[in-house]
Chains A and B, each alone.
Chain A
Amino acid sequence: MKPTALSLAAIAAVIVTYIRAIFFTPLEATQGPAQKILYVHAPAAWVAFMAFGLVGLTSLIYLWLKDERLDRIAESSAEVGVVFTTVVLITGPLWGKPIWGAYWTWDARLTLTLFLWFIYVAYIVLRGAVEEKEMRARYSAVLGILGALLVPFIHLSVYLFRTLHPRPILMKPSAPSLPEAMLVTLLLAFASFTLLYTALLRARYRYAVERDNGQNDGMTHAG
């Protein structure tokens, strides 16, 4: 199977981001090298939230239009979102240990993100458990919408609760609080991870289309 131009561009962009982050971005004075985890942790979180936001949106429209393409987009985005959330949940503790002295703390941001991961793992399990196509799409659309409602709470949790997790340095109303060299790397990381998400979403969607076409052909032959 040949890789698409989009997936090659995504791989190249992520490699360039890694090289810039490792070799051409200055170290932060107080946190040291561990601060460079920012360039994989924050963009992965952004992509995960975007992925689950898309699940919520397409699920909502699916319940209205009953178009199975929307269900496929939701299914694909949820799975890719779980992959990015897994990266967030692993890189976060690896950053927390040297800075906070602990891999994990049950503060609002971390706990809600873990809940979000559980919800979308449950979403994937639910899709595997229900055989009837329309029922599966309807049930998972409801769960997909409810899960997406957590996303704004997670983003705002650092303002609503007293948490160890720092507040956003980019996604906030005021100017970004980073020196220019670090800001450029972070913006590049956001762009390349978004491209990677798009490539993975497309590949996962194409898989879903081929699988459904195969099932339809099978039903036609059986009939």
Chain B
Amino acid sequence: MAGTLDLLRVKAVIRRQFFVQLRAPQRWFDVLIWPMVDVVIWGSIGLFVDQQGGAGRAGAPYMLSGILLMHVMYQANVSMSCGFLDETWSRNIVNLMVSPLRETELLAGLMLVSLTRLVAGLGAVALAAWLLFSFNVTSAGWGLVPVIAVLMLVGWTIALLVMALVLRFGNGAEILCWGLLFVIVALSGAFYPVDAMPGLLQPLGRLLPSTHAFEAARRLLDGEPMPWNLIAKGAAAVAVAVPAATYVLWRTLHLFRARGYITRYS
């Protein structure tokens, strides 16, 4: 995975993804439509709970901030994973593996593309929440920036693991692109505090960097000062998760070449 980055090759990867995004209508669903659908569903649930007087703390804002921040992970993961899956679906992975493209260059290109999609997807959620529920995400302040950074890194970590699984087990593993994400979302307490989860799952939830990020966001919404302790916990967990996932991918790539799995695509 080591090696210097050739910017022309990174640019080529970005350009390729740009054309895919431009010409694949289903990709716009991921970036624009699903975020809005989620806002309507979760915002309405939150509003309904508020109307029933069941929410001791703000129901709709919690749901909307949860869905907004979940989409940070979603866009970061799905964009990067699908960028890689595109190459396996079209069997272009053979061409890439015998080209000068380094793994680091492919990843750098996919990360930059995913960053762009993340901004677009997040914008769509924020706009929909404001228009439909008068929820202004900026009310949480700049404190959301480190929260978003941690969640974006979690999304990329999942993407690295999905790539490793697809390399190891073939395209049958692509379901994990979405499946793994939703398991993490459920365990992270995107819409509820970890204390609300079954006791058995709480320790697992507390290990995840995203759990601390979601909790930090709720505190910010409640008007509390920046919860640096939670951000630090999230950052520390992410500092372990990203290198660990990178190592798993690197080892799997080694196995992919050693066992000749490329012949699945040739």
A pairs with B: no
Name B's A-contacting residues (CB within 8 A): none
Name A's B-contacting residues (CB within 8 A): none
